[in-house]
Amino acid sequence: MTRLTAREIVEQAPDGWVYLLGSLRTRLRTGSFGTGLSLVNAIGAAAEAADHHPDLDLRYTWVDVRLISHDVGAVTGRDLRMARTIADLAAQAGVPLERAGLAGLEFALDTPEIGKVLPFWEAVFGGEKGDDELKDPSGSLPTLWFQRSGGDEPRQRWHPDLWVDPSEVRGRIEAAIAAGGSLVSDEQAPSFWVLADPDGNKVCLCTWQDRG
C-alpha cells in the first residue's frame, strides 16, 4: 500500500477526523457506555470483514478511534476507507464525530549527548529504540525523543510537544497568552510554535503542516 502525504490525508479524510502523529483520529461522542459498546462491536465486525483493524479506546461517554496501516507505519487508502465506514456506522447509530480538542503528546529532551543519555532512558522507559527516540509499542505512553542541542547555552532540558490539528492552534495560543504566557517564537510555523509559561517553561504546539 502507498503511504499518503499529510496533505492528501487531510484533503481526503471524512469530516470529523484529524491527522495527528502519523495517524487518523476521531472521537465518537456516544453519550453512554452501552451505545459505545454497541458501536465498538459494529466497528469490530466491519474491521474483521475488511481485515483492517483500528485502535479503539472505549470510555463511559465516548470512543476514541485511531487508524494507521501498521504494516507500512503510515496512513494509506485502507485507513481512509475504514474512516468512511466508521463515520457511516456512527451516523446510523446517531453518534456525532468530534475533532475539537483531540491532541497527541510527546516529550523531548534537549541534550548534546543523545548517544550517552538515550540508553538510560531506554532502561527506565523501555519501549522500542530508534536513532533519537523511544516509542511505547502499545501507544499507551508518550514517545520520548531526543533533540540535539549545544553544550553551553542555557536551555530547558525537557519540554512537551503537543500535537494538535491546525485549526486548534490560534485559539490555544490566544488562551495561553491570556493566562499569562508568551509566544516565544513562530519562526518554524506552521510546523510548530514555541510558547512559555510565566516562569519561562516552554512547550511546542506542533502540526502536520510543512513537514514534507
pLDDT in tens, 58-94: 999 999 999 999 899 899 999 999 999 999 999 999 9
pLDDT confidence tier of residue 56, bands split at 50, 70 and 90 = very high
The predicted pLDDT at position 188 comes to 96
- 8-state DSSP, 110: E
**CA–CA separation, 174 and 181 (whole Å):** 9
**CA–CA separation, 18 and 24 (whole Å):** 6
Mean pLDDT, the chain, integer? 94
**CA–CA separation, 27 and 12 (whole Å):** 18
Give me the mean pLDDT over the 118-126 stretch: 91
The C-alpha cell that represents 208 in the structure block: 502536520
Please identify which residue in the block is written with the cell numbers 540508553. Answer: 119
Give 6-98's CATH code, choosing from 3.30.1360.20, 3.100.10.20, 3.90.230.10, 3.40.640.10.
Answer: 3.30.1360.20
pLDDT in tens, 129-186: 988 999 998 888 999 999 988 766 666 789 999 999 999 999 999 999 999 999 999 9
Preceding omega of 190 cis (within 30 degrees of 0) = yes
**CA–CA separation, 176 and 197 (whole Å):** 8
**CA–CA separation, 24 and 45 (whole Å):** 20
Class of the CATH domain delimited by 103-206: alpha beta
The predicted pLDDT at position 153 comes to 64
The predicted pLDDT at position 154 comes to 61
Region label for 126, one of left (φ > 0), alpha (ψ between -120 and 50) or beta (otherwise): left
Domain boundaries, the chain: 6-98, 103-206
Residue by residue, DSSP assigns 23-50 as EEEEEE--SSHHHHHHHHHHHHHHHHHH
